[in-house]
Homo-oligomer: A and B are copies of this chain.
């Protein structure tokens, strides 16, 4: 085990993705109304023009634009109103020069019309004539047939995580059954002789499993399918058997105990699973250093630290990107950090990435990130935090008042 060096975060992330055997995500069809948040598994094309007719964007009169050229308050254009367009109906008129048709927002332009005059710039005279007091250009107040989406056009690309308006676009394209990526199955094994299930009373010396449920929640939130495989004692043979069985899933997390003995058992088991095996035995990040990264039969196998804070940092750095990759999701272009200032000096070892839990407080209209006091291994510390500030490996700390980016959690 000691041949493996502790690796930097970026290097470790890249190696892990490099050794991952990429598979096309499995595809399932879901109904449009439950597609939000899912990752599109195929490109989507429109079957029809949207709209499939030229449509007014205002309430007013459909006209031939040329008939209004030069019209103004002092010299209105006079047009004969020859009918009215009703919603959802095909207008039966062809618009001849010098005529107009009353039209509601969303109504279909009749043949011959190429613009709409807003009702505000018209005056109804006796005898079915209107006065137009402002000219319109051809195409004005009109969405042309196919202007939104043309038939055959690609509406959405494979890999898109569907937002509400993307769902709207799928509806416009006539899709009711949406091809989305099947959530990758993420096996979660908790190890430790002292670990008992959350529903059990912890006897003195025992602790309830926190990492299993917390990791499962994170996997679910990120679009994966958590497969909770329970708690395994720190015995090599037993853990090896369970880990081999876990390889039928797409990604395997072994949340280890934090003691040297437990870590060695986990590392030994991961090494025995097969090639290419362990890529990094430790990562330069705090918390989260005792993380083991491996790939076995093209599938990622990660040994996560036992402390919940460490396990969740390692999760965010390594597991979340893997799940997104297995979903075939396009990378998130913009993360959503909140800008703040750090409330006090923090030291950090060069060459190590530090993740500092903070609470956000507003003072004098500015947002300040205050490091959460208390020992870092405590779950109560995590619960209090609003987010995390990362001190990059190249830095040796932060200075009070310095601008930082807070990744909310």
* A contact residues vs B (CB 8 Å cutoff): 32-37, 47-48, 50-53, 55, 57, 59, 86-90, 104-108, 143, 147-149, 155-156, 162-172, 174-176, 192-195, 198-218, 220-221, 226, 228, 234, 257-262, 306, 308, 312, 333-334, 336, 338-339, 360, 367, 375, 377-380, 382-383, 386, 408-409
Residues of B with C-beta under 8 A to A375? 57, 143, 147
Residues of B with C-beta under 8 A to A377? 57, 143
User: What are some 28 contacts across the A-B interface (CB < 8 A)?
Assistant: A36-B220, A36-B221, A37-B221, A52-B203, A88-B193, A104-B259, A104-B262, A105-B257, A105-B259, A106-B258, A106-B306, A148-B378, A149-B379, A155-B380, A156-B383, A164-B217, A167-B217, A168-B379, A171-B208, A171-B210, A171-B212, A171-B214, A172-B379, A174-B198, A174-B199, A334-B338, A334-B386, A336-B338
Q: Which of A162, A200, A333, A360 has the largest number of chain B CB atoms within 10 A?
A: A333
In-complex Cβ contact of A205 among B88, B168, B386 (8 A): B88
Residues of B with C-beta under 8 A to A205? 53, 87-90, 108
Residues of B with C-beta under 8 A to A339? 339
In the assembled complex, the Cα of A211 lies from the Cα of B167 at a distance in Å of 9
Residues of B with C-beta under 8 A to A258? 105-106
In-complex Cβ contact of A104 among B209, B260, B386 (8 A): B260
Identical subunits present: 2
In the assembled complex, the Cα of A155 lies from the Cα of B383 at a distance in Å of 8
Smallest CB–CB gap between A88 and chain B, Å? 3
Residues of B with C-beta under 8 A to A59? 259-260
- Asked if A33 contacts B226 (CB within 8 A), the reply is yes
Residues of B with C-beta under 8 A to A53? 204-205
Smallest CB–CB gap between A253 and chain B, Å? 13
- Asked if B260 contacts A105 (CB within 8 A), the reply is yes
Smallest CB–CB gap between A365 and chain B, Å? 14
- Asked if B234 contacts A87 (CB within 8 A), the reply is yes
Smallest CB–CB gap between A193 and chain B, Å? 4
Given A36-B220, A171-B208, A210-B171, the answer on whether A382 and B52 have CB atoms closer than 8 Å is: no
- Asked if B382 contacts A214 (CB within 8 A), the reply is no
In-complex Cβ contact of A333 among B36, B55, B166, B386 (8 A): B386
- Asked if A32 contacts B259 (CB within 8 A), the reply is no
In the assembled complex, the Cα of A164 lies from the Cα of B226 at a distance in Å of 13
Smallest CB–CB gap between A77 and chain B, Å? 23
Identity of the chain B residue whose Cβ is nearest the Cβ of A204 in the assembled complex? B53
Identity of the chain B residue whose Cβ is nearest the Cβ of A263 in the assembled complex? B105
Residues of B with C-beta under 8 A to A408? 334, 336
